[in-house]
Amino acid sequence: MSDACGCGDDKPEGANDAEEREPERLWQVSELRAAAVAGVFLLAGFVAGLVDAPRPVEIGLNAVALLVGAWTFVPGTVRRLAKGKIGVGTLMTIAAVGAVILGEVAEAAMLAFLYSISEGLEEYSLARTRRGLRALLNLVPAEATVLREGSSVTVDPAQLRVGDLLLVRPGERLATDGVIRTGRTSLDVSALTGESVPVEAGPGDAVYAGSINGTGALEVEATATAADNSLARIVAIVEAEQSRKGAAQRLADRIAKPLVPGIMILAAAIAVIGSVAGDPRTWIERALVVLVAASPCALAISVPVTVVAAIGAASRIGALVKGGAALEALGRIRAVALDKTGTLTRNQPTVVDVATTDGTSREQVLRVAAALEARSEHPLARAILAAAPDHTPAADVDAVTGAGLTGTVDSYPARLGRPGWIDAGPLEQRVATMQAAGATAVLVERDGTLLGAIAVRDELRPEATEVVAHLQGAGYAVAMLTGDNPRTAHALATQAGITDVHADLRPEDKSTIITRLREALPTAMVGDGVNDAPALATADVGIAMGAMGTDVAIETADVALMGEDLRHLPQTLAHARRCRAIMLQNVGLSLGLITILIPLATFGVLGLAAVVLVHELAEIVVIGNGVRAGRARPLPALPAEAPARQPAAATVGV
């Protein structure tokens, strides 16, 4: 909350307890309960005045209303003043004290009553959006079943240890992160990632806390404790980063901080000069009204409420936004740089073509290649092994850095590697065709004779083309950054609809490209791995794909897409753009209100009660407008022919 406002800090001791309880109803907010009590006494004082009750009775009722309402902000104001801090609570306190001095106890009570309502509504709106984030932790079940010494034991998830073997029955939620040891199932991860389609999982697959098991019983080895699982990390990151302030918040602070002392000086000048030129009581009262009229609380409340509401909504559509700075910057983005592997593609290479020489079969080429790759962990190796599951591992296998593998297959020397290290010979044209289609080609040789070429390609995500069309249709410049060779990069980029392609890049090269893109347009970088970390950090906004499993991406990026569906990207960008517009609406409304009220108060057009009423109603309006950011809208359907708008200024040469 803004220091300039004091709306969040000028609170009684009990406010912290209220935050811990996270009020779910309006009546549970202590400020609103105090306002209700103050309102009752204020109404009683008003009735007493109407029925000509004794003056002390009327004043006493209004005084009680004032004391109860002032309890919500005066103690905090005094504590802040003791630390040398001046906030909006200071203005409100001075105005209330001045009104009492002038004998306008009812006016002071009205000010305290309305201000306490504003404070309570703010607290309620913030608590509601905080609950949206903390509700992630409620996805962890109340108990977990652990297999120990051959029998099942029910334990509290907080007691789980790394290595415990969990039994997860159909329909149950996973209590923590783990790896499936036995069983196959479909997991509902919609609450975590926003993905509506269940994810198939089996032995060796990583699973995450809060996922709902589908049809099959699972035995899952815990890889994290309840305090350190995916859900706990996400909540901790969000709550730790929410104190970061976006540019619009810093603008509010820059306006509000000098505004408070400036208005106090103006009010003092009005009181002094007016007293010299006219009736001191009239001008001192007007000076006090100016203090209230110029209160910047609506300005300082408006952006934080919008930020917290927007972050909560983003988490529900599968995006982890690290605070106001990231949200506001995300709303300014006009260019998006996409990593290829793991972002535009599945990061699951598959064999898409096999070319053979005369007298050699497809199966023979794959068998020799799989024999050489049998003990390799390279993604290309996994693709080849999946295509040739029946093979005998080669002997004496050695890796030649930057080239390929050598070994012995069927007692003959064999090689597998890139074109150039192995001569493509009669397959040169086929290899070129493979590369032009976006595949990585490897050649296979045995006993000095070329057997064939294998094309392995990491296929585009099925939604990649749709996502690029959405981004371009919304006016974003889209570029692709990759370490792959230019042929593969351009082939996949063409398939996705991207024309600005930067290939054969090292991690530091990606960072350099992002720096150049930022000179033209505010730029976001979307990546998923360690090699993308420099670019994620360099971009105006770094966006990590697959946050449920990529710790480096979470730590480096400002925003993390919690699922593997790339469609979360344009939806998150559209959400941030809309929320930034709401922020600017609130800032404009707040500043306009101050600009109008100050001269009206100075010349006596509006009295204290009218100014307080208008000002507090405006605060309710900006809070309500900010809460609108808590509703995330679905992406609009693409037109039959999606427009592709690529601002030329964002295109950068390598």
Which of the residues are catalytic? 339
Q: Any residues with CB less than 8 A from the CB of 107 and at least 6 apart, and which?
A: 99, 607, 608, 609, 612
User: Which of 237, 225, 126 lies closest to 166, judged by CA?
Assistant: 225
Euclidean distance between the first and the last CA atom of the chain, given in angstroms as a whole number = 43
> If residue 235 lies in a helix (H) or strand (E), which one and from where to where?
helix 230-241
Residue 310 DSSP SS3? helix
* Sheet order of strands, 319-321 included: 319-321, 559-561, 541-545, 523-527, 335-339, 477-481, 500-502
| Spatial separation of the C-alpha atoms in residues 559 and 651, rounded to whole Å | 24
| Spatial separation of the C-alpha atoms in residues 18 and 27, rounded to whole Å | 11
Note the residue count of the chain.
654
Helix runs in 12-87, H state only: 14-21, 30-50, 55-70, 74-82
Residue carrying structure tokens 């809460």: 627
The beta strands (E) that lie in 538-598 are given as 541-545, 559-561
Classify residue 411 as exposed, middle or buried by CB count within 10 Å of its CB (0-12, 13-18, 19+): exposed
**Amino acid letter, 144:** A
Classify residue 196 as exposed, middle or buried by CB count within 10 Å of its CB (0-12, 13-18, 19+): exposed
Q: Any residues with CB less than 8 A from the CB of 179 and at least 6 apart, and which?
A: 204, 205, 206, 207, 220, 221, 223
Angle at 500 between CA 469 and CA 555, to 5 degrees: 80
- Distance from the Cα of residue 140 to its chain's centroid: 21
User: Which of 66, 57, 76 lies closest to 3, judged by CA?
Assistant: 76
Q: Are 77 and 95 in contact (CB under 8 A)?
A: no
| Spatial separation of the C-alpha atoms in residues 86 and 89, rounded to whole Å | 8
Residue carrying structure tokens 């040789």: 445
| Spatial separation of the C-alpha atoms in residues 338 and 333, rounded to whole Å | 14
CA dihedral of residues 259, 264, 267, 273 (deg, nearest 10): -120
Task: Write out the two tokens for 396.
Answer: 């004496």
Which long-range contacts (C-beta less than 8 Å, at least 24 apart) are formed by 499-506? 499/646, 499/651, 500/646, 500/650, 500/651, 500/652, 502/652, 502/654, 505/481, 505/654
Task: Write out the two tokens for 534.
Answer: 């420099």
Q: Quick count: other Cβ atoms within 10 Å of Cβ 94?
A: 17
